[in-house]
A and B are shown apart, each in its own frame.
Chain A
């Protein structure tokens, strides 16, 4: 009876895993095969698609642009959000409820709607923003906001903020010093987790990138989209590279956050 139950549990888990992994696995095999036409099995395996991809300067540039945009947006978010949450929690704890509502706004509006709205709003501005990376950085900042706010706010609730700052004050620290030396190090875990989460999310963002900037500043997702006409093996290699990178980031994130608790 117990064994039977265990068997059912296991088979459910393994079927789900198989279901989720099959597309990735087949994409991976496809990206490794030299050509795979009317036959059941591919004609042969080679790394030529990967080498073609990794030596394509357009790919390297697109990857670099994506990294630049994501990292800038996250830097901006960190620099603005950290002190903001501190102010909310230390000086105006009642604001936390309102903040929780506000930060959900970027999610409440579908990306297509808000990107068209942004287009209209900035089409006639004096500065040329549409089509530049800057508007994308600012937009990504708002998308990252909910992730960052929630994760960091959680870290704040796990420490005894008021007493820690009070203790630091009595030992001669100013509020700024208390924040930098006593509070900030305790937020590292939440901050890192939210940064990696937002990073992988932003790296895969397509709608805003396509509508607001498009081919004028080709990011990774736009590049992938533009390459859809080329060989399927090539795009598979591209998707796999992207996956590998995200996996690496996730692994790094879990390592860093785990290391912090020890």
Chain B
């Protein structure tokens, strides 16, 4: 049996159903990401797992024990909140040691654990500061240390990085991963940033409107979207209609067909392409965006609009608006999606 098993879990607030009959399992030490747009129920699902919101239906099993009706304070689940929720009246040290204090461990006995934890999250020297004296990243690390020191069985992270700037985000992301691997912590991480999810996770649960629409490892989710939502949420898939797909590639499909922006090539004269890269089409450039190392072109082909990503090698090769070009498609990477 898996370490965490969720069985037909449902949650509603009055008339509003946030999610219904959610089911999944998580293995010990796994890093799972709940990914989905704002308002799809990620936080509510985490809070229900933690026992902060009561499930209306269903079961939560952890390590072979049904904890559906266990109170939050006895679940041994740690959580880092979107808002940090540090105790403003306490120093960093007291914040981190709070969980130990609740277990009846005195500050003196906790000293060693505390030092270890401070070193782990690299907050040595900040013990006596109050939360309002810390930067966002430091606060988030205090919140992390506070949750970790009681050795939770599961760690829940609710968008811990969303309030931080790009650079700190990157560092902290790695730090969280390192700590998670070091402690072999079963972790559920919430984000609405697909890049973050792909980078960090062993598995991704993609949520939409209270449903887990697809789960799997990052590669599978990215390359084999099961439906339009997944395709549009994970990287800017091109979705073309079934008729166009039939006409262009002779693919029979009842639904739309997905083509990733990097599976389309702008044909260079005099260059040899592999056999599966074919189906040439004439296109016109509508606009382009520079995304750092990638240039994204928006093109018009017949009556479809496509986006194509090319590596940004040099500015001379930048093609101006209105140019006519020829496209080639990687036929192995074109696939119909579910609805």
**Which residues of A pack against B, CB within 8 Å?**
159-160, 163-164, 166-174, 177, 181-182, 185-186
Q: How far is the CA of A177 from the CA of B104 in the complex (A)?
A: 13
B83 pairs with A166, CB closer than 8 A: no
Bound together, the chains give a CA A168 to CA B81 distance in angstroms of: 12
Query: CB distance B85 to A169 under 8 Å?
Result: no
Given that A171-B146, A172-B102, A172-B103 are known contacts, is A163 also in contact with B89, CB under 8 Å in the complex? no
> Which among B25-33, B70-78, B247-255 touches the partner chain?
B70-78
Question: Residues on B close to A: CB < 8 A?
Answer: 47, 50-52, 71-75, 77-79, 81, 83, 85-90, 98-99, 102-103, 146-147, 150
Instruction: Evaluate whether A159 and B88 lie within 8 angstroms (CB atoms) in the complex, with A171-B99, A171-B102, A172-B73 already known.
Output: yes
Q: Is the interface of A mostly helix, strand, loop or mixed?
A: helix
CB distance from B29 to the nearest CB of A (A): 21
Complex CA–CA separation, A171 to B71 (angstroms): 12
Contact B83 A174 (CB under 8 A): no
* Extra pairs beyond A167-B86, A168-B98 (8, CB < 8 Å): A169-B51, A169-B73, A170-B78, A171-B99, A171-B150, A172-B99, A173-B73, A177-B102
Are B83 and A160 touching (Cβ within 8 A)?
A: yes
User: What chain A residues lie within 8 Å of B72 (beta carbons)?
Assistant: 166, 169-170
A contact residues around B50 at 8 Å (CB): 166, 170
CA distance A169 to B79 in the complex (A): 10
Cα A22 to Cα B67 with chains together (Å): 72
Pick the residue among B74, B87, B150 that contacts A182 (CB under 8 A): B87
Q: Judge whether A170 and B88 touch: CB under 8 Å.
A: no
Query: Which of A164, A172, A174, A186 is in CB contact (< 8 Å) with B85?
Result: A164
Question: Chain A contacts of B73 at CB under 8 A?
Answer: 169-174
User: Which of chain A's residues have a CB closer than 8 A to the CB of B47?
Assistant: 166
B77's closest neighbor in chain A, by CB?
A: A170
If A172-B150, A186-B89 touch, whether A163 touches B81 (CB-CB below 8 Å) is: yes
Smallest beta-carbon distance A65→chain B, Å: 36
CB neighbours (8 Å) of A159 from chain B are 88
Instruction: Find A163's partner among B51, B83, B90 (CB 8 Å cutoff).
Output: B83
Contacts of A181 in B (CB 8 A): 87, 98
A60 to B98, CA, bound (A): 47
Cα–Cα, bound, A166→B156 (Å): 13
Are A167 and B150 neighbours in the complex by a CB distance under 8 Å? no
A-B contact pairs, 17 of them (CB 8 A): A159-B88, A163-B85, A164-B85, A164-B87, A166-B52, A166-B85, A168-B87, A170-B78, A170-B79, A171-B99, A171-B102, A171-B147, A171-B150, A172-B74, A172-B103, A174-B73, A185-B90
Which A residues are in CB contact (< 8 Å) with B79?
Answer: 166-167, 170
Chain A: minimal CB distance from B46 (Å):
11
Residues of A within 8 A of B85 (CB): 160, 163-164, 166-167
Q: Which residues of B contact A166 (CB under 8 A)?
A: 47, 50, 52, 72, 79, 81, 85
Report whether A169 and B52 are in contact in the complex, using a CB–CB cutoff of 8 Å: yes
> Closest CB-CB distance, B74 to chain A, in whole Å?
8
Closest-by-CB residue of B relative to A171 is: B99
